[in-house]
Amino acid sequence: MLHILRATKETVHWGYFDAALGPALKVKSGDHIHVQAITHHAGDAPDLMMDDAIRQLYREIPEDDRNPGVHIMTGPIHVEGAKPGDMLEVRYLSMIPRFKHGSNLAANWGYLYKEFGEKERVTIYALDENSNQAEAVFAYDYPGKYLIPGKITHPENCNCQPALPGFRIPVRPHLGTAGVAPDMKGRVSTIPPGVHGGNIDNWRIGAGSTVFYPVQVDGGMFSVGDPHISQGDGELSGTAIEASLDVMMQIGVRRDFHFPTPLIETPHEWMVHGFDEDLNVAMRQASLEMLRLLTDLKGTSRDDAYSLMSVAADFTVTQVVDGRQGIHARIPRSVFPPKK
């Protein structure tokens, strides 16, 4: 069955996950969902990145209800029969940009903020649908400090300047933030990633990939947000190219295996994550999760897995700007024996 979940005041929650939040949609395992994911950076260029529905969303949700995180989350989606201990299998089938522009902010939480004199700068990119690339069209220094999520700025009132002339960036739409409700009381910020998923900021969470999320509460209570059209590993300035997406996905419940952290399957790789305020700790966690993948799900011995990780797995910094930093570990599907 196909469901359509539009982003409205009644179907979004801004800046948080909450296990007590009622469902915006109820589905059965195996159902398809077309969901609108809205960027909290649409106000960086409202004439290019907002329509009437998004303007209404920004007007209707008070600034003091956008906390403790920053991302606009559509959901939660209750999946019938999902219980703690199950895995929620989310197949991302398509991600289509809602507009032809996106915004990158060099933010106060960016990795080199101090090196740039504590200046914040917005760069607006345009999408070329024919080449599947993006190109910067203008940039401006952000007036003041970028603190309130969803702030609306009119670039015509800023000193806009050309940016990156001739440079082309590959477009790879994905969700920066998506996950199940954590088993915790009260609001949980969308900013740090965790075992529930959340703000992983891994650009492989796009069309063609499947992500397995460990269910924390009954129904899973799955939400999506923080849509991007491109990002590099590290997300160094603090943001990607932030742009709203229309997402088609299929959600199912899996009980034939369990994994304690979000697990990504792409057409070519398996991928696990480690999260911590200390990148060294995140690296160790990612290593142990890859070890778990190879031994528990792929049937290798620990000794064989350790060797395989050293010669075939790649460990990469996912992001360094979300408080709880991330490492992802990738291993090609081609290294595994063919199925008999």
Instruction: Give me the pLDDT at residue 264, please.
Output: 98
Round to whole Å and give the CA distance between 211 and 246: 18
How big, in percent rounded to 5, are the helix, strand and coil portions of the chain? 15, 40, 45
Q: Evaluate if residue 339 carries a pLDDT over 90.
A: no
> Is pLDDT above 80 for 128?
yes
How many Å apart are CA 37 and CA 95, to the nearest integer? 10
pLDDT of the residue at 324: 96
Say what the pLDDT of residue 195 is: 96
Residues 224/310, Cβ–Cβ less than 8 Å: no
What mean pLDDT is predicted for residues 97-101?
98
pLDDT (tens digit per residue) in 257-287: 999 999 999 999 999 999 999 999 999 999 9
> pLDDT for 7-32, tens place per residue?
999 999 999 999 999 999 999 999 99
- The per-residue pLDDT for 305 is 98
Q: What is the mean pLDDT of residues 154-170?
A: 96
- Asked if residue 340 has pLDDT above 80, the reply is no
Q: Which helix (H) or strand (E) holds 57?
A: helix 52-60
Distances (CA, A) of 121 to 62, 110, 155, 157, 229: 25, 11, 12, 14, 19
How many CA atoms lie within 13 Å of 24's alpha carbon, on the beta-carbon side?
24
Terminal-to-terminal C-alpha distance of the chain = 33
- What tokens were used for 24? 């915006």
Where are the alpha helices (H) located in 116-209, listed in sequence order? none
* Average pLDDT of the chain, as a whole number: 97
pLDDT-derived band of residue 148, with 50, 70 and 90 as boundaries?
confident
Helix residue ranges per DSSP H, 128-199 = none
pTM reported for the whole predicted model: 0.96
Tell me what percent of the residues of the chain surpass a pLDDT of 90: 97
Check residue 179 and give its pLDDT.
Answer: 98
Q: How far is 171 from 111, CA to CA, in rounded Å?
A: 23
* pLDDT tens, position by position, 183-232: 999 999 999 999 999 999 999 999 999 999 999 999 999 999 999 999 99
